[in-house]
Chains A and B, each alone.
Chain A
Amino acid sequence: MHLDHADTDIYPQRHTYSSAADPRRPDGTRRALRIGLGGPVGSGKTATVAALCRALRDELSIAVVTNDIYTREDAEFLLRNAVLPATRITAVETGACPHTAIRDDISANLEAIEDLEDAVGPQGGLDIVFVESGGDNLTATFSKGLVDAQIFVIDVAGGDDIPRKGGPGVTTADLLVVNKTDLAPYVGSDLDRMARDARAQRGDLPVAFTSLVAENGVKPVVDWVRDRLAAWSAAHA
């Protein structure tokens, strides 16, 4: 850390690394809040991102980075559904290893975010960038060098014992979303048990139960994102 500090005088451009540690962009303006969304394949990450964008895009300036495993489906879904204009959506390729791109080697994702900030800068800048991970296993988490906060999305159809199994995603994510509650009766998932197990694993960290097929079903996640953004803006006013 002290090295960084000392070097700042000699190499002022070091601020351009755009690591999550630095709240400023090279031009001195505040960078966007970065929120990662991870979780198993098909749990509803893209559906959550789409719903968040629809709920927030009229009041906030938003961009999305997707990390598809071998297609551009997530990015194309968001484009097809006109959730955001194409200039605000970027797909990163991950070489068969989605968790590497969000945790061990975050360079491609940082670049995608930087480019989005540059592209949208002339239109007043970005408030939030959502980074969707490719569907992965229960141990996949985002590097603190890439995002400010992370959401882990699981669903009731993946089995109601997932909160009990724990793992870094379930245990440490800033928000755990248990999605597709509408399907619980059909797959025999016990939501109370999931809530109890999640509390046991996560202590005070929040859990949101959602059904995205319901009207405004994403609301608990929207509220959480608003709180994070307010805290971020206050901390870096």
Chain B
Amino acid sequence: MPTMPEPTVPAARAALLVLADGRFPAGGHAHSGGAEAAVKAGRIRDAGSLEEFCRGRLHTAGLTAAGLAAAAAAGLDPLVLDEAADARTPAPALRATARRLGRQMMRTARATWPGPELDALAAARPRGAHQPVVLGLAVRAAGASPTDAAHIAAYESVSGPATAAVRLLSLNPFDATAVLARLVPELDQVAARAAEAARRALDEGPDALPAASAPLLDITAETHAAWPVRLFAS
């Protein structure tokens, strides 16, 4: 009988599972990714509208975050990327959220995959660097690939809103998970685009990274941050 060739598993592939796990303790559970504001405005009402919301976020904020994460995992200077993230995040509320989540991610990353690059960024940005940059550096510390980093960032851009919608609308959790499943081909495409851009950014600098934005998410993030009563921090 002919023997099967050994399948080639990318380096530290399972680190992707640890980092993408919703139980990874880095603060994400308190954030809805704009879903709380969209639910209040009636733009997310059911599984169908949740899917549209997630698709929009994936191809805008998700793509941008995936590019930054892949670039950090590829070894671009995290401080340069942190500035690039600021430039791609015009809304002050979203900058604050990204840095808060980055600080939380940093704590967990340094406990899980300790290393000098994480330490250096923590020392340079004690109040937190942008979350995708820290995520990318954590992926790098774990020995996984830039494409893995892009996948995690892209997935986070839709898994957060989906989980929040389950809590906010008492949406059937099977329906919400089916939304994520239907987005899988697009998640792969976005991650591949982001990883390709990160490869180019190694030569051309951070301007090669995606800079897609979602103005409505920016605007509603600002108003949401001023709500006196809310379930989610963002």
A107-B123 CB under 8 A given contacts A69-B231, A93-B233 = no
CA distance A7 to B118 in the complex (A): 14
Q: Is A101 an interface residue (CB 8 A)?
A: yes
CB <8 Å contact, A17 and B111: yes
Q: Which single member of B31, B107, B115 contacts A107 (CB below 8 Å)?
A: B107
B167 within 8 A of A: yes
Chain B residue at minimal CB-CB distance from A103: B25
Number of interface residues of A (CB under 8 A): 26
Contact check, A13 vs B232: say whether CB atoms are below 8 A apart: no
A72, B114: Cα distance in complex, Å = 35
B110–A94 contact, CB under 8 A?
no
Residues of A within 8 A of B29 (CB): 95, 97, 100-101, 104-105
CB atoms of A95 and B32 under 8 A apart: yes
Which positions 1-30 of chain A face chain B at CB distance < 8 Å?
7, 10-11, 13-14, 16-17, 19
A77 at interface, CB cutoff 8 A: no
Are B25 and A111 within 8 A (Cβ)?
A: no
Q: In the complex, how many angstroms separate the beta carbon of A65 from the nearest chain B beta carbon?
A: 14
Q: How many angstroms between the C-alpha atoms of A11 and B29 in the bound complex?
A: 29
Interface string of A47-79 (1 = CB under 8 A from B): 000000000000000000000011110000000
Asked if A11 and B231 make an inter-chain contact with CB atoms under 8 angstroms apart, the answer reads: no
Is there an interface contact between B27 and A107, defined as CB atoms closer than 8 Å? yes
Given A11-B114, A14-B110, A111-B100; 8 other pairs, CB 8 A cutoff: A7-B114, A10-B116, A93-B233, A95-B32, A101-B29, A105-B23, A105-B27, A107-B27
Chain A contact residues, CB within 8 Å of chain B: 7, 10-11, 13-14, 16-17, 19, 69-72, 93-97, 100-101, 104-108, 110-111
Residues of B within 8 A of A (CB): 23, 25-32, 100, 103-104, 107-108, 110-111, 114-116, 119, 122-123, 164, 167-168, 228-233
